[in-house]
A and B are shown apart, each in its own frame.
Chain A
Amino acid sequence: MSRFLLRRTFSAVLTVLGGTVVAFVVMRLLPGDPARLVAGEFASAEAVAEQHRALGLDEPLWSQYLIYMADFFRGDWGFSYSLGEPVFEQFVRSVPATVELAAAAVTLAFAGGVIGALISSYSRGGPLDAAVRASSYIGLGTAPFWLGLLLLIVFFERLQWLPGPEGRLSSSTAAPPPVTGLHTVDALLAGEWATLGDAAVHLILPAVTLGFVIYAFLVRMLRASMLELVREPYILVARSKGRGRWGVIVRDVLPNALLPAITVGGLVLAELLTSTVLAETVFGWPGVGKLVTDAILQQDFAVVQAFIMISACLTVACNIVVDLLYGIADPRVRVRSS
């Protein structure tokens, strides 16, 4: 186990390093002088040169990289000139919104995926199965931002059932006292039911938009592996013990089908980072995604670079967590690695 962990850690470090080096180099090769942007359009040449030095841009690239990395892990993520504050603080402010949205999306997608796959394998070949499969095709073939716009048109503009792209809360609602930063959880903790309801309705459309692809991916994979698994001899054994068709699918097939789903879960989480950027933009959701799109438009490279760093770390973390989870969940792996 320890050798396995060691190897994993080593490759994780390499991944992070590789990702950040590439990101760093690309960011520096982009046109546009950050020093000029920071100093302002009408700054004098001396002022720009001064700024250049202040930002450390006249150091060699490798030393810039090392300084950046050292600063990054100390929590100094650079200064965002477009908003005039440290990048780190911007992220601290935006992360809870993204976490809340992502958690809601993943929960919806997972619940939907499991329920869909259960229904599909119970009524294989029937109309319900066909409906689940159709939904999966639609989900995989639809761009999230397009789906988001469609949902807004239907549920906000036409039906007026749900709020529009106004962020996490209505303008008339005050944010609950911050504990976790997740408005729904904080409202629950504070017992502010009206706020909880408002935060929840604001979550629905963005979470569905973000979760639908994940659902589509998950349900397709789960369905396929469950239809394989129902042919396993131990399923027949379970039936011969007196378990019903539904019981067998829930208790004997599903646990086996969820094992590969763990791997997919890791992929999905990493993928989620990119999708949030689009979904947040559509819904005006004040999360990391929106922070980054705004930064790109402003050529605020410190923010974008921090985002790339976080993405690299998160992707690697997801992979490690998936491996560990897999080891815990599958008794066969558990033995092999110990």
Chain B
Amino acid sequence: MKPDTVLSVKDMHTVFATPGGTAHAIRGVSFDLRRGERLGIVGESGAGKSALVLSLLGLVEPPGRVAGGSVWLNGRDLRTLSERQMRRVRGKEISIVFQDPLTALNPVRRIGPQVAEVLLMHGDLSRKQARERAVGLLADVELPEPEKCYAAYPHELSGGMRQRVMIAIALANSPDVLIADEPTTALDATTQAQIITLLNKVIEERGTAVVMITHNMGLVADFCDTVQVMYAGEVVEYGSRDRLLDRPAHPYTAALLASVPAMDARRDLPLPALSGLPPSLTDLPEGCAFAPRCPLEGERGLCRTTRPAPRILDGEPDRMSMCHFSAEQLALTS
């Protein structure tokens, strides 16, 4: 574990029971998050990014189940906590901003109480104090007329304003870790930029560590310090933003980046689909999960028979790639 680690995830496994068999949605994911770090998680749809988030918070519901692993936060393994104890962690030490702000607020309740309740649940404030703090939070996320927003219903606010409310809720108790699961995907480009600017500001003020899940490589390049690439429930590559974007060590990362045309010119493009499909999570190939789509694999038997181990790259500390031929991939881009 790195010295100033806030969150340390070790060998997480999550499965879903489906009619077609057990889907292994998360397969041995490990990573560390330092205080104030901004980690980007990228990967195709279905890679397991959201499942990972729910697993960390203990919110996987049947037919899903966390099958193993540990989540260390502030000195204890969240997986050993009771549901009662977990409730004191969620929204206090770790919180989430979800993708779709339009459906993330309860439509029949006013905005204000939905913000204030997260304060009331985790602190011993009076209702009046919670109300004042909530209005303050709405002002912090730069909502015009926070008093009016407090009394408004969700449908009276625009998508961008609602996402600001969600950020206010997530940051209300100054959590150690903020997870943003595609926080801007549902918004138009201008609003996206405003939300990211706001996130930058409020995170900096509080020194919050962020896990930013996104399909948007431009956002990774602008916002994140480190990047983790997920494929079929595994972290296939991890590294600092610049190293990883400039010199991918995993063929999947390389393919992802290659599929973003003219990265420098058009950084705001979302990830387009790669050729081929990810493997079925109920029936994974024996060797490397990426082998059927891998341009580097050729006809090499090793990739088809042996699952590559996560490997620290030579001469690159803090850099991991899960590929038998990382060196060759690196050589391609140097």
Interface positions of A (Cβ within 8 A of B): 232-234, 236-245, 252, 255-256, 259, 329-332, 335
Contacts and interface: CB of A to CB of B under 8 A. Distances in A.
Nearest to A255: B108
A236 B50 CA distance: 12
B222 to A, nearest CB: 26
A242 B153 contact: no
> A236, A240, A256, A332 — which one has the most chain B CB atoms within 10 A of its CB?
A240
Contacts of A233: 98, 100, 103-104
A242 B173 CA distance: 11
Contacts of B122: 242
Interface in B50-95: 57, 59, 83-84, 87-92, 95
Interface in B99-116: 100, 103-110
A241 to B, nearest CB: 4
A242 B100 contact: no
A245 B87 CA distance: 10
B156 interface: yes
Given A240-B90, A242-B121, A259-B108, 4 more contacts: A234-B105, A241-B169, A243-B87, A243-B121
A331 B89 CA distance: 32
A43 B104 CA distance: 78
B118 interface: yes
Contacts of B289: none
Contacts of B268: none
Contact of B95 (A236, A241, A245, A331): A241
B42 interface: no
A256 B108 contact: yes
A332 B91 CA distance: 28
Contact of B90 (A242, A255, A329): A242
Which 4 A-B pairs give the minimum distances between C-beta atoms? A242-B91, A241-B91, A331-B153, A233-B103
20 contacts: A233-B100, A234-B106, A236-B59, A236-B98, A237-B96, A237-B104, A239-B59, A240-B90, A240-B96, A241-B91, A241-B95, A241-B117, A241-B118, A241-B121, A242-B121, A245-B83, A255-B108, A256-B107, A256-B108, A332-B107
B166 A244 contact: no
B10 interface: no
Indicate the size class of the contact surface on chain B: 20 to 34
> B90, B166, B169 — which one has the most chain A CB atoms within 10 A of its CB?
B90
Interface in B253-295: none
Contacts of B107: 234, 256, 331-332
A146 B169 CA distance: 54
A237 B105 contact: yes
B109 A255 contact: yes
B157 to A, nearest CB: 12
B153 A332 contact: yes
A242 B92 contact: yes
Contacts of A236: 59, 98
A233 B182 CA distance: 14
B105 A332 contact: no
A331 B155 contact: yes
A157 B110 CA distance: 53
A245 B156 CA distance: 28
Contacts of A242: 87-92, 118, 121-122
Contacts of B169: 237, 241
Nearest to A253: B106
Contacts of B57: 240
Nearest to A235: B106
B220 to A, nearest CB: 23
Contacts of A332: 107, 153, 155
A237 B114 CA distance: 10
A299 to B, nearest CB: 51
Contacts of A335: 153, 155-156
A244 B82 CA distance: 12
Contacts of A256: 106-108
Given A242-B118, A331-B153, A237 B90 contact: no
A296 B88 CA distance: 65
B60 to A, nearest CB: 11
A240 B106 contact: no
Nearest to A240: B96
A245 B92 CA distance: 17
A240 B83 contact: no
Contacts of B88: 242
B58 to A, nearest CB: 9
A231 to B, nearest CB: 9
Contacts of B104: 233-234, 237
Contacts of A232: 103
Contacts of A330: 108
A254 B156 CA distance: 22
B201 to A, nearest CB: 22
Contacts of A239: 59, 90
A242 B103 CA distance: 18
